[in-house]
Structure 1
Amino acid sequence: MTAFDDLDDYLALPRATRLVMSPDGARLVLAQSTLDDTATSYVGALWEIDPLGGEPARRLTQGEKGESNPTFTARGDLLFTAARGGDDEPPSLWRLPAACGEAEKVVARNGGIAGVHAATRADRIVLAANVLGHSDTDDERVRAARKDRKVSAVMHTGYPVRYWDHDLGPDRPHLLTVGTDGELTDLTPGVRSSLRDAQLDVAADGSFAASTWVVAGPLASRRTTLVRVDLTTGLRTPLVDDDTGDATHPALSQDGTKLAYLHESLSDPDTPPRITLRILDVADGITTVEARDWDRRPTSIAWLPDGAGLVLTADEKGRGPIFVLRSGTDRPEQLTLDDAAYTDVSVAPDGSTLYALRASYGAPPHPVRVALTGPDAGTVTPLRVPAELPDLSGRLTDIVSTADDGTPVRGWLALPDTATADAPAPLLVWIHGGPLSSWNTWSWRWNPWLLVARGYAVLLPDPALSTGYGDDFIRRGWGRWGKEPYTDLMAITDTVEARPDIDAARTAAMGGSFGGYMANWVAGHTDRFRAIVTHAGLWALDQFVPTTDVAWYWQREMTPEMAVENSPHLYVADIVTPMLVIHGDKDYRVPIGEALRLWYELLNESGLPAEDDGTTAHRFLLFPNENHWVLSPQHTKIWYRAVEAFLSEHVLGAPIELPEVLG
């Protein structure tokens, strides 16, 4: 038995969410979430991890509502946010002294605190916080007035008005500094939406910060620039303002003279966005494009301590390895060679070692030490964690197929240990979202091992548009969603179904977001699958584009002609496969209207025969209070049980009962 054999055991598994290193490299702190006593939410706690791997993990915080946003100060104190008061108290800023002792509250405000940043060589703390009114001095008064008068109205002057799962405004993110007496100073009074989801790096000496800054563009579009914010005066000056693309992921060198960042070019109907690594000389304003011919999309940046190079991560053929780009070289060198993806990378001050969270389809995120120099460079050593990593419910193998145009198409295949030529396993093709994404790391939300534990082989394919295979691989599917992405999926499915340990007569397809779009497209273009599950899927592209929360982004690719050529709703009459439609009503990325229209048209126009009372084999699972992913533990449990029941009925021919709580 494994934790994947029982949903309660799976949901109870601890989940590492963040890893931070102290400025001197002597301490590591891991943020980890666990299920609360009611099994309805996750609570975070902070743990000390031994960088050498000898000592066991030590819990640092015990708050009933949890702690998050761990950040070290220059003196080695640990900052974090936590709500430790009444039910309605927002998160405050707390400090755990380096010399041990009890945590002390540093700053509390009615609007709470969203993010914490600190200089590594100076006593400077910068907070991200949502502010009502012109500046933080107005916040308490305006917030109280809205609460007392039960006002929820928002007056918008720009776009967007909502994002993923929440309405935007009326409060807006500002940057605040914390004085020695705990007094807050608003560095960005009057700012509107420019700091939404800001990415920020504080200079080591605490003099300034480099931050993303969103500016409005034509046709309700948005463009991301980089600005310098003086942390004493609040004076804001441009650093990078390039109208050919967005500037993100700012990373300052230790001496503050250079700024590394990622540039994502603006796409158009014929050209997908390209991400390049760039370095700005802060003094003279000259920008250089690094590794110009590297055909990958970097996902994170960290400087080597001496400023003589960068540590990067990027998707790479179903993995997310660490790369090192040394000054004077044209191409990053791949440091880690395992089947894993790395995040939260921190480089030790002496430049010999780095620390990161490592994850793969073989293990959830866990802290590791990676040798950066010397004969052992690239060697990965797992560190001691608060809980053992779970055993898997099967085995994993790499699959490579060939597309119709001769392009290699690969993916992961998770198989139950019982799958053999004498007892072949039913197959579930699970299509990833994005679409510029890849099946390359552990996912708590989309986890194949839960279905492997039920006896299914789960194929995780990377068709055209997937990242980690070069720009040409993305370009194959750009504006052609129903063409190469679809034929790639069919090609790799053919390859897997030809295996003797797979039962090709019992297959299903499933996907979420763009994967849900593909599931909808598959349903209208083939009857090879016994069942199809579509979660938060795009259905009518002409309807989707103007109603999604970031319409300007999708309009860059989706012309009216592209929408007509690739919209699944135009093929509803050809659907003869039972479909389970799943959607959250708080999903603003793929609005609920997509599911409502899909459901109506499935029942009225699909080729699946209806009963006398108008019902069909199709089903619709609606989560009124969930968003794009369905995140709460109790609803995650229902999601998997409903999917299992639907697949069991139509793929295995063995109906099982739905959860009683569904009524």
Structure 2
Amino acid sequence: MPETAGEPTAFHDLSAFLATPRVNRLALSPDGQRLVAAVQGPNADGNGFVSGLWDIDPTGVNEPRRLTRSRAGESAPAFSADGTLYFLSGRENNDPAAGEHDDEGPGVWALPERGEARPAARHPGGIAGFTLARDAGVLAYTAGLLPGAPDAEAHGKLRKDRAEAKVTAILHESGITRFWDSDLGPDEPHTFVRTAGDGGPAAGEGNGSAVDAGGQGFVSDAETALSPDGTRVAHTRFVHGPVPEGNRSVVVVADAATGEELHVVDRDGYEYGAPLFTADGSALVCVRELVATYETSFSYTLVRIDLPGGAESDLLAGFANWPLAAVVSPRRDDETLWFTADELGHSPVFRRDPDGTLTRLTASGAYTSLCVAPDGRTLYALRSAVDAPPTPVRLDAAAPDQEPVALKAPGAVGRLPGTLTEVHTVGDDGFPLRSWLVLPEGARAERPAPLIVFPHGGPQTSWNAWTWRWNPWPFAARGYAVLLPDPALSPGYGPRMHERGWGQWGGRPYRDLMTMTDTAEARPDIDATRTGLAGASYGGYMANRIATLTDRFKAIVSHASIWNLRSHQAETDASVHFRRVFGDPRTQPERYEEDSPSLAAERIRTPMLVVHGAKDYRVPVGQGMSLFQDLQRLGVPAKFLYFPDEGHWVLGAAHARLWYATLLNFFDHHVLGTPWHRPELL
């Protein structure tokens, strides 16, 4: 192993690193006095993760306090109008007075400030997500109905009949059949609404009312909203086109009591999602996507939809980057909104005033889970960065380029085994390029560090936030520098960054990556003779593409990667997206043939580690298997790390530890020349 400096950190022990608590969601009470976080950690068996809820002091004075604990865990915290805390959980209902329920899957639970949690909504097969009205006792949740089932009771009976008959078959008549790592069907998501007087949303099964407000496709709690008074519900709907290329997502506004459709947000050439009602309920704010074509990249903006008329206006006209998340002011007299967007290796918070003025509130870091105080003067959020895990922070809701106030919370990682810097260069077309570079402790001209290059996935993503799956710091702890480059197609660099790489996955982005690697290797603290590369998803595709174009790297890791573009287009759950970008392979084969790594397999000389999960539907496992078979056929040194029960991401705690150990040992062997060490349990 390479020599490292300083005392060991959490990143020197993979088990300790993966056991670090992970803060992943915030909720603020209506009076602004309570801030609750969902915090994830290893489960009792050590083979997965479970989430619990914690009270975080908004003033930053008091230590965090754990609120919930169960084997099933609790997630998705949200407050109702009366201050009751709601959450999702698959925990059992131990109330002896409770009736029989189909307890498979999570339900919505309510936890008063004093007292025990009680079930608030259940549904046979479980609830996918929920939302609460800001000013009324109304809850909306997303759950499935089997074909032919008009309500939850009939749905539960059909589920029981299928189970007793041992039927698992699904008949699809249109649309997509799989999504990321899940099979879709046989049930279809619908939105249900419960009401219960002034005492808050209905408790338990059968109390209050549950009204199907329609909906199809895949929906999460981020895709459902209630008007502040609880009288209307907005949710996304997947619409099947006359041909698959016409499939799209629209937003439906319905009467919360009757389910009657009041308005559909739909427009040719666009998709809509993430609806939010304004504080006075007079309009929706939605994310609008320009659908990609063979010639033109997709793009995102925020739009306002006036109700009931449906007049639409672009809220971010002229803004160079794509909004990722938005929240609206809770004040009825204020149309201010806040959102985040990737920008130059960060993901700042932006404020949009009613007159259209935009103010960047943060200069560094990446922000998620925005919450606005009742007076609209304070924001709470989770802040992370490449060198900092997510932590709750407090922000002034108007001050530009400020430093947030960190709040006390679980999840500190302690000292890092290195430092973070930036690397700047220009592409062959003169476009400015930047990367993050992680340097291990002790790296200097007298002892330059070996380098690992991490092409990111997407390709429409960028390196700007902490990640638990592709974290560079365990590599730094082993003595490696890690380059995190943002090549063509990365967001946060304006529309030109997309245009210069559109339609040429293995062209301009490849050249950018090589230029950024050249610049990093030219540093005196980097050993240019010992360089490896590892990528996943699009980054895995790029790893394969690079392996066919250069032998400059000592070793390459290809995770969840596309090997044969043409066969992948027919197998992936995102087939329509790939036809839009690459064209119909029968009539427009050019891009498939130009950019498919499999067509140049005989050029590969670099040792490769192939990693794939059997339940990966975005990049089906046949891609990884075909790559491994071709490498063996051609005599290229290769290994295949296969996860039969993982999908596109390696999520199991034990599997994640083995993933890191295998990659590190593979690079140690081929980049540093140490003997191969097979990880324990493999």
Q: Which amino acid aligns with 1:529?
A: F
What SS does the aligned partner of 1:294 have? coil
What SS does the aligned partner of 1:345 have? strand
- Check the 8 A contact 2:293/2:581 in 1, yes or no: yes
What SS does the aligned partner of 1:390 have? coil
How far is 1:126 from its partner?
A: 1.0
Q: 1:573 aligns with which of 596, 599, 602?
A: 602
1:627 correspondence with 2:617: no
1 CA distance for matches of 2:599 and 2:139? 54
- Check the 8 A contact 2:142/2:221 in 1, yes or no: no
- Check the 8 A contact 1:431/1:510 in 2, yes or no: yes
Q: CA-to-partner distance for each residue in 1:385-437, whole Å, 9 max, x for gaps? A: 13534321110001111111111111100010111111100000001000101
2 CA distance for matches of 1:158 and 1:563? 26
Q: CA-to-partner distance for each residue in 1:600-640, whole Å, 9 max, x for gaps? A: 222223xxxx3xxxxx5211111111100111011111111
Q: Which amino acid aligns with 1:174?
A: H
How far is 1:187 from its partner?
A: 3.1
* Residue in 1 that maps onto 2:96: none
1 CA distance for matches of 2:531 and 2:254? 55
How far is 1:197 from its partner?
A: 7.7
1 CA distance for matches of 2:29 and 2:597? 51
What SS does the aligned partner of 2:369 have? strand
How far is 1:449 from its partner?
A: 0.4
Q: Which amino acid aligns with 2:261?
A: R
How far is 1:322 from its partner?
A: 0.3
2 CA distance for matches of 1:549 and 1:198? 21
- Check the 8 A contact 1:400/1:411 in 2, yes or no: yes
Pairing 1:281-296 to 2, within 5 Å after superposition: 281-296=306-321
What SS does the aligned partner of 1:169 have? coil
- Check the 8 A contact 1:363/1:390 in 2, yes or no: no
* Residue in 2 that maps onto 1:104: 118
Farther off after superposition, 60-69 or 107-116: 107-116
* Residue in 1 that maps onto 2:366: 341
Q: Which amino acid aligns with 1:630?
A: V
- Check the 8 A contact 2:216/2:237 in 1, yes or no: no
Count of aligned pairs between the two proteins: 649
Structure 1 runs not aligned, ≥5 long = 611-615
How far is 1:196 from its partner?
A: 7.2
2 CA distance for matches of 1:191 and 1:240? 13
Pairing 1:48-87 to 2, within 5 Å after superposition: 48-85=55-92
How far is 1:130 from its partner?
A: 2.1
Q: Which amino acid aligns with 1:557?
A: V
- Check the 8 A contact 1:370/1:377 in 2, yes or no: no
* Residue in 1 that maps onto 2:294: 269
* Residue in 1 that maps onto 2:663: 643
2 CA distance for matches of 1:197 and 1:59? 24
Q: 1:4 aligns with which of 4, 8, 11?
A: 11
Q: CA-to-partner distance for each residue in 1:194-218, whole Å, 9 max, x for gaps? A: 7578701211111112211221114
1:315 correspondence with 2:315: no
* Residue in 1 that maps onto 2:160: 144
Q: CA-to-partner distance for each residue in 1:122-170, whole Å, 9 max, x for gaps? A: 0101111122333212121011111111110001111201111111101
* Residue in 2 that maps onto 1:164: 180
Q: Which amino acid aligns with 1:489?
A: L
* Residue in 2 that maps onto 1:253: 278
Q: CA-to-partner distance for each residue in 1:470-493, whole Å, 9 max, x for gaps? A: 111011111111111000000010
Pairing 1:580-599 to 2, within 5 Å after superposition: 580-599=609-628
Q: Which amino acid aligns with 1:369?
A: R
* Residue in 2 that maps onto 1:613: none
What SS does the aligned partner of 1:521 have? helix
* Residue in 2 that maps onto 1:131: 145
2 CA distance for matches of 1:508 and 1:6? 22
- Check the 8 A contact 1:173/1:196 in 2, yes or no: no
What SS does the aligned partner of 2:556 have? strand
- Check the 8 A contact 1:56/1:386 in 2, yes or no: no
- Check the 8 A contact 2:193/2:213 in 1, yes or no: no
1:91 correspondence with 2:127: no
1:18 correspondence with 2:25: yes
1 CA distance for matches of 2:679 and 2:482? 23
Q: Which amino acid aligns with 2:396?
A: A
Farther off after superposition, 317-326 or 383-392: 383-392
1 CA distance for matches of 2:242 and 2:290? 16
Would the alpha carbon gap of residues 435 and 111 (structure 1) be closer, same or farther in structure 2, given more than 3 Å must change?
same
- Check the 8 A contact 1:198/1:213 in 2, yes or no: no
2 CA distance for matches of 1:178 and 1:252? 18
* Residue in 2 that maps onto 1:42: 49
- Check the 8 A contact 1:58/1:386 in 2, yes or no: no
2 CA distance for matches of 1:118 and 1:570? 52
Would the alpha carbon gap of residues 82 and 484 (structure 1) be closer, same or farther in structure 2, given more than 3 Å must change?
same
Q: 2:391 aligns with which of 360, 366, 369?
A: 366
Farther off after superposition, 214-223 or 196-205: 196-205
* Residue in 2 that maps onto 1:475: 499
How far is 1:177 from its partner?
A: 2.1
1:603 correspondence with 2:632: yes
How far is 1:498 from its partner?
A: 0.4
- Check the 8 A contact 1:354/1:369 in 2, yes or no: yes
* Residue in 1 that maps onto 2:421: 397
Taking only the aligned residue pairs, the percentage that are identical comes to 43
How far is 1:276 from its partner?
A: 2.0
* Residue in 1 that maps onto 2:263: 238
Would the alpha carbon gap of residues 64 and 130 (structure 1) be closer, same or farther in structure 2, given more than 3 Å must change?
same
Q: Which amino acid aligns with 1:38?
A: D
What SS does the aligned partner of 1:576 have? coil
Q: Which amino acid aligns with 1:649?
A: H
Q: Which amino acid aligns with 2:272?
A: A
1 CA distance for matches of 2:191 and 2:334? 27
Pairing 1:211-610 to 2, within 5 Å after superposition: 211-221=235-245, 222-304=247-329, 305=331, 306-329=333-356, 332-338=358-364, 340-373=365-398, 378-559=402-583, 560-605=589-634, 610=635
- Check the 8 A contact 1:65/1:84 in 2, yes or no: yes
- Check the 8 A contact 2:215/2:236 in 1, yes or no: no
2 CA distance for matches of 1:138 and 1:193? 20
* Residue in 1 that maps onto 2:680: 660
- Check the 8 A contact 1:225/1:248 in 2, yes or no: yes
Would the alpha carbon gap of residues 196 and 27 (structure 1) be closer, same or farther in structure 2, given more than 3 Å must change?
closer
What SS does the aligned partner of 1:214 have? strand
- Check the 8 A contact 1:258/1:280 in 2, yes or no: yes
How far is 1:291 from its partner?
A: 2.7
How far is 1:303 from its partner?
A: 1.4
- Check the 8 A contact 2:130/2:221 in 1, yes or no: no
What SS does the aligned partner of 1:120 have? coil
Would the alpha carbon gap of residues 190 and 154 (structure 1) be closer, same or farther in structure 2, given more than 3 Å must change?
farther
How far is 1:546 from its partner?
A: 1.2
How far is 1:447 from its partner?
A: 0.4
What SS does the aligned partner of 2:681 have? helix
Would the alpha carbon gap of residues 189 and 297 (structure 1) be closer, same or farther in structure 2, given more than 3 Å must change?
closer
- Check the 8 A contact 1:239/1:282 in 2, yes or no: no
2 CA distance for matches of 1:288 and 1:575? 51
* Residue in 1 that maps onto 2:5: none
What SS does the aligned partner of 1:84 have? coil
1 CA distance for matches of 2:104 and 2:252? 33
Farther off after superposition, 509-518 or 593-602: 593-602
1 CA distance for matches of 2:542 and 2:403? 39
